[in-house]
A and B are shown apart, each in its own frame.
Chain A
Amino acid sequence: MVEKKFGFWWIVRCITLWFVVFIMVFPFLHMVSVSLSSNLMVMQNKIIFWPLIGKGQLGITLDTYKFILSKPLIYIAYKNTITYVVVGTVVALFVLTTGAYALSKKRCPGGKLFNILIMITMFFRGGMIPLFLAIKWLGMLDTIWAIVLPSAFSAWNVIIMRSFFSVFPAEIEESGRLDGLNDIGILWYLVLPTSTAILATIGLFVAVAQWNSFFAPLLYLSDEKKYPLQIILRQLVLQSVMEGMEGAASNTNFAEDSIKYSTILVSIIPIIAVYPFLQKYFVKGVMIGSIKG
């Protein structure tokens, strides 16, 4: 479109977009700066854009990170989160791939009924308490299964994958059949190797959701040793519970804010680290969903 550079609209747009960028980036920048600064500077509220280790002295110190990562509370939670993410993603991908592939075939016995049953769950669900009671009745409370199984299947993800599998060329499947493969073999040997893009996309969505999951562990876990990072983060940041953080507030060696910001950062660094590489998959996933949705 023809447009004058430095015209009125150009300036409005530039200011707005740069403002958006600032708002999105600044909290992160501030967090990083606080977590890397010396505690005295944090307590004196000197940190805004960059880390300081002394008055007006630029520099970084890793003391806060060393401190929080030495606490069993944090590293046990970290280990738990990683376990839940890995197991949860594998389980979810297994359930979703098998289900979506079968449902993409008209031959699947009961397929029509199952598709309707899946559709219904998009609009109506049992709700918080009946689900809790079901999980309790299944004996899954306080186990990893309460975290990874209920979230494994989701109507939305099945529909995305189903629409992906439904365009798989029928000729290839038929040639596999002629070679004596059954449907499971076709899925494993022919369909899956060409579906890595969709597996990566859905897998990433599931993994991020699991990493950030807060409500399920809050409901279904009561053993502190099984808590994931998000629960600890809430206690620490929102409820200011410093239990398990001995030597922090009492000795005043560490500013509370430093500890809070560092813990937040520790919890989002894995996501930020993989984010640039995986952005295209994420965006692709949204697009696949929107075409059908």
Chain B
Amino acid sequence: MKTKNTAVVDEAPIESLPALNKRDPEWLRRFKDGKYLFILVLPSIICLALFYYLPMYGISIAFMDYKPFLGFIKSDWVWFENFERFFKYRFFWRTIKSTFLLSFWSLVWGFPAPIVFALLLNEVTNTKFKKFVQTVSYMPHFYSTVVVVGLFTLFLAPTGGLITRFLSTYFGVQNLNILVDAKYFRTIYILSEIWQGMGWGAIIYLAALTNIDPQLYEAAVVDGAGKMRCMWNITLPTIAPTIITMLLLRMGQLFNVGFERAFLLQTPSTYETSDIISTYVYRRGLQANDFSYGTAVDLFNSIICLILLVVSNTVSKRVSETSLW
């Protein structure tokens, strides 16, 4: 690359490159050569610094007793006191368990859903019908979380909710109020997630499926392979790398459950299962203005995420030679 640039510089007329001076040191020459690129990259760098790296520096308040009126400099350092407070929190294990179970079950149900959907859709030969199903299934992806949670809430409302009415009319289910029942929080959360994301999530698998050579199937059928056999020996191996990459990405997010959905769907009566780390951080850290404590809890969560990502990536590298980096 470097040689190519010098070639360009040599060919270019001198007038257009007045800033390049042969006596300048190497780094300055490179800077002058790319100064317009540097100007172009500045807005991004400013955003990166202000909204990503300044907050990262701000994590240090997790080790402080941050008081807004004292400010960042004058607040006292308390080191691990905030973390200890979290470990001693009455519902520490409940919060960890809820966070883990919510993501775990959302992975178990939510991850295969788009794959199965893509496999089904891939078999459809009628292109018009295929297109129609696709278009319809992408739609909910563009609704906001507020709208999706709102719809589920309205449909499941104890009085007048459409599903509630249906169940009471045809199945005799009385006094159904699953929105405030902690037992059903995960179910509703995961169902709403699948409803919203299944079609969209299938796009990537559908693309991977189009790469399969139809001749493979024909050959397999000649050899007497059935539908299941084809699926198992041809289709799945082809999309396996995609599945593993997507799974890896999900693993890293295992402790990073969708905050918005959980926050909007939860009510104090479902805290037993619905209060995950991020909603707890919001409630304690921002609503109760306990900034340092909230940051400490959040940091604890991020570190678990990072560990999970590294572990799952290492495992996958060993097992399948697929890696994120």
* Cβ of A225 under 8 Å from chain B: no
- In contact, B298 and A24 (Cβ under 8 angstroms): no
Q: Does A238 contact B (CB under 8 A)?
A: yes
Please tell me if the beta carbons of B195 and A23 are within 8 angstroms of each other in the complex: yes
With A177-B8, A219-B286 in contact, is A184–B44 under 8 Å at CB?
no
Residue of B nearest to A44 (CB): B160
Interface size on A, residues (CB 8 A): 95
Q: Which of B11, B55, B149 contacts A127 (CB 8 A)?
A: B55
Q: How far is the CA of A237 from the CA of B260 in the complex (A)?
A: 15
**Do B48 and A153 touch (CB < 8 A)?**
yes
Pick the most buried of B143, B221, B281: most chain A CB atoms within 10 A of its CB. Answer: B143
**Distance of A164 from chain B, by nearest CB (Å):** 15
Do A178 and B260 have beta carbons less than 8 Å apart? no
Which of chain A's residues have a CB closer than 8 A to the CB of B43?
Answer: 94-95, 98-99
A13 located at the interface, meaning its Cβ lies under 8 Å from any Cβ of chain B in the complex? yes
Cβ–Cβ contact B8 & A20, under 8 A: no
Q: Does A149 contact B (CB under 8 A)?
A: yes
Set of chain A residues within 8 Å of B145, measured between Cβ atoms: 212, 214
B146 and A149 contacting across the interface, CB-CB below 8 Å: no
User: Among B33, B44, B153, which residue has its beta carbon within 8 angstroms of that of A153?
Assistant: B44
A132 touches B (CB below 8 Å):
yes
B50 in the interface, Cβ–Cβ < 8 Å?
A: yes
Is A286 an interface position by the 8 A CB rule?
A: yes
Tell me, in angstroms, the Cα distance from A9 to B298 when the chains sit together. Answer: 48
Contacts of B117 in A (CB 8 A): 20
> Is A221 interfacial (CB 8 A cutoff)?
no
**Given A153-B51, A214-B145 in contact, is the A130-B58 Cβ separation under 8 Å?**
yes
CA distance A23 to B160 in the complex (A): 19
| A264 proximity list for chain B (CB < 8 A) | 147, 150-151
Q: Are B203 and A286 in contact (CB under 8 A)?
A: yes
Quick check: is B240 within 8 A (CB to CB) of the other chain? Answer: no
Q: Does B110 contact A (CB under 8 A)?
A: no
Q: Give the interface segment out of B96-104, B130-138, B181-189.
A: B130-138
Q: At the interface, yes or no: B274 with Cβ under 8 Å from chain A?
A: no
User: In the bound complex, do residue B147 and residue A267 qualify as a contact, i.e. CB atoms below 8 Å apart?
Assistant: yes
The interface-forming segment of B85-93, B120-128, B170-178, B315-323 is: B120-128
The answer to whether B149 and A114 have CB atoms under 8 Å apart is no
CB < 8 Å neighbour of B37 from A25, A102, A212, A214:
A102
A98 touches B294 (CB 8 A): no
B41 engages A111 (CB within 8 Å)? yes
**Cβ distance A85 to chain B, nearest Cβ, rounded Å:** 12
Q: Which residues of B contact A23 (CB under 8 A)?
A: 195
CB of A234 within 8 A of CB of B154, answer no
- Per the 8 Å Cβ criterion, residues 220-255 of A in contact with B are 230, 233-234, 237-238
Say yes or no for A215: interface residue by CB 8 A criterion: yes
Contact of B143 among A3, A234, A260, A268 (CB under 8 A): A268
Nearest-neighbor residue (CB-CB) of B38 within chain A: A109
Given the interface contacts A182-B36, A208-B142, does A128 sit within 8 Å of B278 by beta carbon? yes
Contact status of A103 and B41, CB under 8 A, knowing A121-B52, A134-B51:
yes
Q: Name the residue in A100, A107, A213 with the highest tally of chain B Cβ atoms < 10 Å from its Cβ.
A: A107
Q: Within the complex, what minimum Cβ distance (angstroms) separates B71 from chain A?
A: 9
Q: Which residues from 275 to 325 on chain B have a C-beta closer than 8 Å to any C-beta of chain A? A: 278, 281-282, 285-286, 291, 294-295, 298-299, 302, 306, 309
A58 at the binding interface (Cβ < 8 Å):
no
Write out the residue numbers on chain A whose beta carbons fall within 8 Å of the beta carbon of B50.
134, 138, 149
Offer 25 A-B interface pairs, CB within 8 angstroms, sorted by A: A9-B227, A13-B120, A17-B124, A21-B133, A24-B139, A24-B199, A99-B41, A107-B5, A109-B37, A110-B38, A117-B48, A123-B309, A129-B295, A134-B58, A138-B50, A178-B11, A212-B142, A215-B260, A234-B150, A237-B153, A261-B154, A268-B142, A268-B143, A275-B139, A290-B204
Which 3 A/B pairs are nearest by Cβ-Cβ distance? Answer: A126-B55, A99-B44, A130-B58
Which positions in A face B, CB cutoff 8 Å? 1-3, 9, 13, 16-17, 20-21, 23-25, 27-28, 30-31, 45, 48, 94-96, 98-103, 105-111, 114, 117-118, 121, 123-135, 137-138, 149-150, 152-153, 158, 174, 177-178, 180, 182-184, 187, 208, 211-215, 219, 230, 233-234, 237-238, 257, 260-261, 264, 267-268, 271-272, 275-276, 279, 282-283, 286-287, 290, 293
Contacts A1-B218, A109-B31 supplied; 15 other A-B pairs, CB < 8 Å: A1-B217, A3-B125, A13-B120, A17-B129, A102-B37, A105-B34, A109-B38, A111-B41, A127-B298, A129-B294, A133-B61, A138-B50, A183-B40, A187-B40, A257-B154
